[in-house]
Amino acid sequence: MAIRKIGLVTRTYRHVNRYRQILTVLVKYGFDEIVDSLKIGQYVEIGLQLISRGHREHVESLTRAQRVRMVLEELGPTFIKLGQVLSTRPDLIPVEFVTELEKLQHTVPPFPFAEAKEIVEAELQRPLDRVFEQFDEKPLAAASIGQVHRATLRDGDDVVVKVQRPGIRAVIDVDLEILFHLATLIERHIEGAELHKPTRIVDEFSRVIDQELDYTIEAKHLEHFAAQFINDPTIYVPKVYRDATTHRVLTMEYIEGVRPSDLGQMAQRGLDRKRVAARGAELILKQIFAHGFFHADPHPGNMFILPSDVICYLDFGMMGRLDRRSREDFADLVHGVGAHDPARATTALLRLTEHNDDVEPDRRRLERDITEIIDLYSATHLGEVDLSKLLQRLMELVQRHRLRIPADLVMMLKAMTTVEGVGRMLDPDFDMVAAARPHVMKVKLDRMRPQRLLSDMQESGAEMLQLAREIPGGVRDLLQQAKRGHLRIGFEHRGLERMIETHEKITNRIAFAIVVAALIVGSSLIVLSNLPPTWYEIPVIGLGGFLAAGLMGFWLLVSIMRHGRM
Q: Catalytic residues, which ones?
A: 297
Give the distance from CA 463 to its chain's centroid. Answer: 35
CB 437 within 8 A of CB 444: no
Give SS3 for 234: coil
Residues 6+ apart with CB under 8 A from 347: 332, 336
CB 492 within 8 A of CB 532: no
Handedness of CA 340, 342, 343, 346 (dihedral sign): positive
> For residue 466, how many other CB atoms are within 10 A of its CB?
10
Handedness of CA 180, 184, 185, 189 (dihedral sign): positive
Burial (CB count within 10 angstroms: exposed 0-12, middle 13-18, buried 19+), residue 375: exposed
d(CA 97, CA 87) in angstroms, rounded, equals 7
d(CA 244, CA 224) in angstroms, rounded, equals 18
Looking at residue 187, its amino acid is: E
Burial (CB count within 10 angstroms: exposed 0-12, middle 13-18, buried 19+), residue 323: exposed
CB 194 within 8 A of CB 498: no
Strands 146-153 and 141-142, bridge-based pairing: antiparallel
368: nearest Cα among 385, 388, 345: 345
Looking at residue 349, its amino acid is: L
Up-side HSE of residue 397: CA atoms within 13 Å toward CB? 23
**What are the φ and ψ backbone dihedral angles of 122, each rounded to 5 degrees?**
-65, -40
DSSP string over 415-480: HHHHHHHHHHHH-TT--HHHHHHHHHHHHHHHTTSHHHHHHHHHHHHHHHHHHHHHHHHHHHHHHH
d(CA 30, CA 57) in angstroms, rounded, equals 8
18: nearest Cα among 67, 79, 75, 84: 75
Alpha-carbon Rg for the chain, nearest whole angstrom, is 31
d(CA 239, CA 221) in angstroms, rounded, equals 12
DSSP string over 128-171: HHHHEEEE-SS-SEEBSSEEEEEEEETTS-EEEEEEEPTTHHHH
d(CA 503, CA 499) in angstroms, rounded, equals 6
> For residue 3, how many other CB atoms are within 10 A of its CB?
18
424: left (phi over 0), alpha (psi -120 to 50) or beta: alpha
